[in-house]
Amino acid sequence: DKTGTITKGIMSVVRVVTPEHDLEMHETLPSDADELLLLGALNNDASVQKDKRVGHPTELALVDAAIDVGIDIRSARANMARIGEIPFSSDRKYMVTAHRRDNEDIMIIKGAPERIFEMCDMSAKERHRFEQISDEMAQKGLRVLAVATKSGPMVKEDEKILHASCVGMVALQDPLRESTKSTIEELNSAGIRVVLVTGDHPSTASYIAENAGIEIGENGVITGTELDEMSDDELQSRIARIAVFARVDPRHKVRIVQAWKNRDQIVAMVGDGVNDAAAMKVADIGVALGSGTDVAQQTSDMVLLDDNLATITSAVREGRVIFDNIRKVIVYLLADSFSEIILIGGAIALGMPLPVLAVQILWINLVTDGFPHLALTTEPGEDDVMKRPPRRKEEPVVDRDMKILIFIIGIVTDIGLLLLFWMLLGRGYDIEHLRTIMFSALAIDSLFYVFAVRSLRHSVLSIKLFRNKWLNVAVVGGIALQIAAIYVPFLQELFSTVPLLLQDWMVLIGLSLIKLIVIEITKEVLVIVRRKRYAASI
């Protein structure tokens, strides 16, 4: 929805048009313009007091304009007491109030110019002038309302109004939020399509959309009337090409949301009014503005307390970062566990002694690796996190590329360590010495490749080393704890370890670097394959 979402929702009257005049609000207004503003304030449910403003932004703007020209709203409403009302509806697109003035009943009608002009007695020349000015103002992004009066008693709600007198038109401005254009650009970069849905005139909606950075294209704007003429199948086939929906009512909004959902898309509906509630309920995610109606907020799944569309962008980014980090932790932990299982299973299958003891595995999983995997959850997010298309709904948490990466990490570790264990065993190494090497290899190895899984898409060389200070602290701490487990006497007894020689450490570091290189090559190959798959799907 447009008002209050991509615009500020703070409207002001900027232009007044009567049968005789066409003036900006900052100019000195004649009496017929004052009369127009008075009628706009009477056909109005807004209330403006010193410390409280209640009402729709459009109606508040009309009251403000009347006050600005010196009209005493309270006295005017007392002198012309309201005795009847037909509320505004999206179908009618106008509101009627009945008042008593000098023992005479009078109706005030306010609404969409095209609806008001149909009710009024005016010459073809007068109507052409009003329509021309209305279109011109709409093309500048202004919301245009026409006001008419008719003497006589209140009509019934379904009764057609004829022979009214057109008093004039007012143009209201609702400026874009400063962050709107950049926010929409960022959402587009993230593969999130932004569609504008509004009750405004098509020209007004198009102007706002273009200035907000919404690409309209050819035939990208349709009205509620055109929607009514479309079947659901036709709407579903065309909806991807439509960027702006104008002059729509609540049932149209529901159809629009449903059509996108039928195309297997995740739909978020952002709105602030009662007329948005039904569409918000149908959408996958209903988002209400903090300044919106209670109905909208109660229907929604999320409320923007700051009324800022940019908050949605922040929420999307945060969600993607969290999901990425979950995947990184899964790869790190499963690859580590897979390596340990195959190493021990392979040694048993080949008839060799256990390469590591249970207490050593427990130390690696809970202490040495425990802190790095917790630190991975604090990764701030990759630079391209908002430049990727959204995940498919059916995509699992552990996808094919992750399984391949986990398998490669495990196999590289197992083959290298099993060969090392077999060679050193054949050379007559003491079993405690061998187990200390294997114990340290598993620990140091995982502390090295944790840097590789900081990104499952990009090279470790492209990631800023000190961006995640907690991971650096965790790795340094893990290395210190592992060294303590090997060289501190009481820990040596606990873990059955012996001090390692310099040449042992050189071998361990060499194996870890080889594994890191293999992981980086695997990641690059997976990225190339992923790009080819994506290109083939377009």
**Which sign, positive or negative, has the C-alpha torsion 517, 325, 342, 422?**
positive
Distances (CA, A) of 197 to 43, 89, 252, 276, 295: 26, 16, 9, 10, 19
Condensed to tens digits (0 to 9), the pLDDT of residues 439-494 reads: 999 998 889 889 989 998 888 888 887 889 999 999 999 999 999 999 999 999 99
Q: Starting at the edge strand that comes first in sequence, how are the strands of the sheet with 221-223 ordered?
A: 196-197, 244-246, 221-223
Total residue length of the chain: 538
The string over 493-517, giving b where at least 16 C-beta atoms fall within 10 Å of a residue's C-beta and e elsewhere, is: eebebeebeeebeebbeebbeebbe
CATH class label, 180-310: alpha beta
322 residue type, one letter: I
In whole numbers, what is the pLDDT of the chain averaged over residues?
90
Closest CA to 344 of 202, 264, 442, 258: 442
Checking if the pLDDT of 391 tops 90, the result is no
What does the alpha-carbon distance between residue 213 and residue 187 come to, in Å, rounded to a whole number?
11
pLDDT tens sequence across 334-357: 988 888 888 898 889 989 999 999
DSSP 140-162: TT-EEEEEEEEESSPPPTTSPP-
Least confident of 187-191, 304-308, 470-474, 534-538: 534-538
Which one has a higher pLDDT value, 534 or 341? 341
Residue with tokens 């083939």: 536
Digit-coded pLDDT (tens) for 109-131? 999 999 999 999 999 999 999 99
Q: CA–CA separation, 229 vs 477, rounded Å?
A: 68
CA atoms of 161 and 153, how far apart (whole Å)? 11
Q: Does the pLDDT of residue 538 top 70, yes or no?
A: no
CA-nearest of 70, 84, 75, 68 to 25 is: 68
Catalytic residue set: 1
Topology of domain 313-537 in CATH is: Calcium-transporting ATPase, transmembrane domain (1.20.1110)
The percent of residues above 90 in pLDDT, for the chain, comes to 57
Q: pLDDT digits over 34-82, tens only?
A: 999 999 999 999 988 877 888 888 999 999 999 999 999 999 999 999 9
Asked which of 57-71, 364-378, 523-537 is least confident by mean pLDDT, the reply is 523-537
Kindly tell me if the per-residue pLDDT of 533 is higher than 80.
Answer: no
Helices and strands: H and E segment counts in the chain: 20, 15
Joined tokens for residue 520: 């980086």
pLDDT of 179 strictly over 90: no
What's the topology of domain 12-173? Answer: Calcium-transporting ATPase, cytoplasmic domain N (3.40.1110)
Structure tokens at 297: 């907020």
In the chain, the N- to C-terminal Cα span, in Å, equals: 30
Pair type for strands 244-246 and 268-271: unpaired
pLDDT band at 537 (very low <50, low <70, confident <90, very high): low
Taking only the tens place, the pLDDT of each residue in 150-172 is 999 999 988 999 999 999 999 99
Q: What pLDDT is stored for residue 50 in this prediction?
A: 74
The percentage of the chain sitting over the pLDDT mark of 70, rounded to a whole number, equals: 98
Point out which residues pair with 269 in neighbouring strands: 286
Instruction: Report how far residue 115's alpha carbon sits from residue 92's, in angstroms, rounded to the nearest whole number.
Output: 8
CA 532, 533, 536 angle in degrees (round to 5)? 85
Q: Which residues contact 63 (CB under 8 A, 6 or more apart)?
A: 41, 44, 46, 47, 48, 55, 73
pTM score of the predicted model: 0.79
Any idea what the Cα angle at residue 109 is, between residues 94 and 135, rounded to 5°? 65
361 Cβ neighbours under 8 A, 6+ residues apart: 340
DSSP for 9-60, written as a single string: S--EEEEEE-SS-EEETTSPP-HHHHHHHHHHHHS---EE-SS-EES-HHHH
Q: How far apart are CA 523 and CA 402, in angstroms?
A: 10
Q: Which two tokens stand for residue 242?
A: 């439509």
Residue-range domain boundaries for the chain: 12-173, 180-310, 313-537
More confident residue, 415 or 536: 415
Q: What is the pLDDT at residue 10?
A: 84
Q: How confident is the model at residue 280 (pLDDT cuts 50, 70, 90)?
A: very high
255 has a pLDDT exceeding 90 = yes
pLDDT for 275 equals 85
Summarize the confidence of residues 245-262 as an average pLDDT: 93
Single out the residue of 278, 224, 216 nearest to residue 242, CA to CA: 216
pLDDT at 103: 83
DSSP summary character for residue 453: G
Average pLDDT (315-336) is 92
